[in-house]
Structure 1
């Protein structure tokens, strides 16, 4: 089923012609031409049943005795096919906020996820005839696509490379939009945007995952500190040897390296120890 243009005549012109035909039928009835006057009046009544109004950003799907006769997309006052059934389909851009779904990511961790889908109808015939209640169809397919995308990626990447739901929101949104478009094209719906609005671990594992994230952050920070500390120690020893302030043997170098690393890497302020010599 594909959308096609329906026959329609300007409503104001049609109304003027119908009024003229009505006046003519009255004149004929008064002058004794009863049969012609009644026949003309019946024709006017039949044609008047096709008068309709199309609002802006709406389409009117016309069916005539069970057959699809086309769609009127232009807003205004129109004369459509008489005795036809006309149904309005909104062409406006609409939002759909999914409920918070509880799903498992690719690692099996239970998470809560929700999304907003921005869509509009681009083919009124498909939306009306190819699916039953296209609004409900959009809702169900959106939740299905959201579950499918959530099952393909981890919530967060603690090691390795790839995409994650939390760290790659733009890529996840693009894939969700693409999959939604594939599912909703049968309903004549265009997906303009799809984005995650809620993403969190489920309550039963939220505290454990928070501790894991904190531990990962601490390890990463410590690695940077150690890397910087080693560089600083190398620079300090090289500068001392270059300036020739003191001559350091291997034992003194080891002691200095140990003291500097402890002072830099430690998360507490270093307390200097002054050697005053022996009391005896």
Structure 2
């Protein structure tokens, strides 16, 4: 399922235009030195030397304003962090360069993490393909790929991801049955790699409108809901017993067939149809019985 944002333009990340902050540190030092020189030139004689007060005040105020202007333009970018720049509500690019950066103070900076986020979802109750209620949960690793989409195309991208994880989990969980002893269908319990791949694709389709990419997704909890857990356990046990019995009978038939063929080919004994049927019955009882067979020694003849 792909979510499309209709009626609005999709944002795209572009590189922001900022400057290194280290040269501007020298500007701050220069302004401090200018203010100190101004004080040193005027304060010793309190202006008795004829230095105009207006000049002193102008230099001091100008240096202070410039110092504040430069100071407000600094911001720091940590590793795997980005800053979205806006000017009066207009997107002006994203800065990803690490270290101390500087930009004009009237340009707003919104920092956003582009690190990998790990989320373990809450357990949700859904119905599988056969309508059985199951409890299911997953673990998802995601990160921001396009900062402009994450900031401008959705209201809260973290909450958006959480909601889409639950929705995607419900969608994928309802596509398959919980279990299938016949082994013909893709099941949630027996086809983990297939289900995890479907979940990964489903989540990427859902969150790409927010500039998010999902790197890993996998089920971490899968069980029948508590109200049917005991009944489904008995059903699983019964199906397992039936499957084991069927395999046992097929193997016993093959062994009996091989035994009769060997006896006939080697000329060990020649049985008519009635005695042949009796031997088949006895061999099947021995091979398929749950208890050990007790041998009965016949001291007479088979044809009484």
Is the shorter-chain TM-score for this pair beyond 0.5, marking a shared fold? yes
Deviations 1:71-101 (A, max 9, x none): 1112111112322222221111111111110
Tell which deviates more after alignment, 151-160 or 208-217: 151-160
Residue aligning to 1:13: 23
Tell which deviates more after alignment, 43-52 or 172-181: 43-52
Q: Is the 8 A contact 1:26 1:37 kept in 2?
A: no
What is the 5 A alignment of 1:90-169? Answer: 90-159=113-182, 161-169=184-192
Residue aligning to 1:222: 245
Superposition misfits of 4+ residues, deviation over 6 angstroms: none
One of 190, 196, 199 as aligned partner of 2:213: 190
In structure 1, C-alpha distance between the alignment counterparts of 2:106 and 2:224, rounded to whole Å: 57
In structure 2, C-alpha distance between the alignment counterparts of 1:25 and 1:64, rounded to whole Å: 31
Deviations 1:54-73 (A, max 9, x none): 11111112222222222111
One of 2, 5, 13 as aligned partner of 2:12: 2
In structure 2, C-alpha distance between the alignment counterparts of 1:18 and 1:69, rounded to whole Å: 26
One of 90, 96, 104 as aligned partner of 1:73: 96
In structure 1, C-alpha distance between the alignment counterparts of 2:261 and 2:267, rounded to whole Å: 10
In structure 1, C-alpha distance between the alignment counterparts of 2:238 and 2:285, rounded to whole Å: 21
- For structure 2, list consecutive stretches of 5 or more residues without a partner in the other structure: 1-10, 42-50
**Matching of residue 23 in structure 1 with residue 23 in structure 2:** no
Secondary structure of the structure 2 residue equivalent to 1:204: coil
Q: TM-score, normalised by structure 2?
A: 0.84
Secondary structure of the structure 1 residue equivalent to 2:174: helix
In structure 2, C-alpha distance between the alignment counterparts of 1:157 and 1:227, rounded to whole Å: 21
RMSD over aligned Cα atoms: 2.1
Structure number with the higher helix fraction is: 1
- For structure 1, list consecutive stretches of 5 or more residues without a partner in the other structure: none
In structure 1, C-alpha distance between the alignment counterparts of 2:59 and 2:198, rounded to whole Å: 67
In structure 2, C-alpha distance between the alignment counterparts of 1:188 and 1:78, rounded to whole Å: 25
Deviations 1:145-200 (A, max 9, x none): 11111112111124473211111111111111111111111111110011111110
How many Å apart are 1:204 and its aligned residue? 1.1
How many Å apart are 1:36 and its aligned residue? 6.7
Residue aligning to 1:202: 225
**Matching of residue 236 in structure 1 with residue 259 in structure 2:** yes
In structure 2, C-alpha distance between the alignment counterparts of 1:224 and 1:161, rounded to whole Å: 17
Deviations 1:120-143 (A, max 9, x none): 111111111211221111111100
